[in-house]
Amino acid sequence: MPKHSVPAPAAGGAMPAAAQTEYRALTIYSAPPTGCIVFPVTRNGFEPHLRLGEIAIVDSGDRELQNGELYVIRWNHPLEPDGIKALVQIWPRTHRGTDGNSFAAWWVGSLNRPREAGEVEQWLKERRPLSCSERPFRADHLREKLVGRVIGIYQATDPAIAALNGRAQS
């Protein structure tokens, strides 16, 4: 069950922004709730939920795997001791192992991606950018890589802080 499914004052006093002028799947907050971190959206591929230059609010205490949800993941990198963080959407698929038994595994990739072969062909014809999905992960391995689930968008009301949108550091 998502921890932040209903916009309400968080324990730390964070409130959803008063006026949400357009429909968004994520709650817009004027301050991050307690226990959450902020993460800059530095690439396309997550519209309409998150747009380039926005700041995602990530619940670092929520790493439960939920089909279709957005997360921040930490990729291992030999030159970055803390790894490289990125936004991903996760989804499960059933696979057959080398022993012939079926098992559930999780994939990660962009929200905006072709879902089947016909869509891939159409995207190629339209010269739309394609990105790869990372291999299937077993649930416990993926949970270890996740930083947290995206629960909202940070939209500061203080003009000085609002000017930082798109340039924030996590």
Question: Which one-letter amino acid corresponds to residue 67?
Answer: N
Is 1 inside any structural domain?
no
Residue 90, strand partner residues: 108
How many domains does one find in the chain?
Answer: 1
Q: Report residue 133's pLDDT band, with 50, 70 and 90 as the boundaries.
A: low
Residue type, 51: R
Q: DSSP assignment, residue 117?
A: H
User: Is 151 a domain residue?
Assistant: yes
For 118, phi then psi, to 5°, come to -60, -35
Among the listed ranges 18-27, 46-55, 114-123, which one has the minimum average pLDDT value? 18-27
Would 125 be classed as within a structural domain?
Answer: yes
In a domain, residue 58? The reply is yes
pLDDT bracket for residue 165 (50, 70, 90): low
Q: What does the block give as tokens for 146?
A: 């996740």
Q: Is residue 20 part of a domain?
A: no
Which residues neighbour 164 within 8 Å (Cβ) at sequence distance 6 or greater? 156
Q: Quick one: average pLDDT of 122-133?
A: 80
Long-range contact pairs involving 45-49 (C-beta distance under 8 Å, separation at least 24): 45/87, 45/110, 45/111, 45/112, 45/113, 45/131, 46/70, 46/87, 46/89, 46/110, 46/111, 46/112, 47/111, 47/112, 48/24, 49/24, 49/25, 49/111, 49/150
Better-predicted residue by pLDDT, 85 or 9? 85
Q: What is the pLDDT of residue 142?
A: 95
* Strands 36-40 and 55-59, sheet pairing: antiparallel
Q: Is residue 18 part of a domain?
A: no
Q: What's the CATH code of the domain at 79? A: 2.10.109
Task: Work out the mean pLDDT of the chain and round it to a whole number.
Answer: 80
Greater model confidence, 6 or 127: 127
Residue 67 located in a structural domain? yes
Question: Who's near 122: CB < 8 A, 6+ residues apart?
Answer: 114
Say how far apart CA 71 and CA 91 lie, in whole Å: 11
14 located within any domain = no
Domain of residue 134, residue span: 27-162
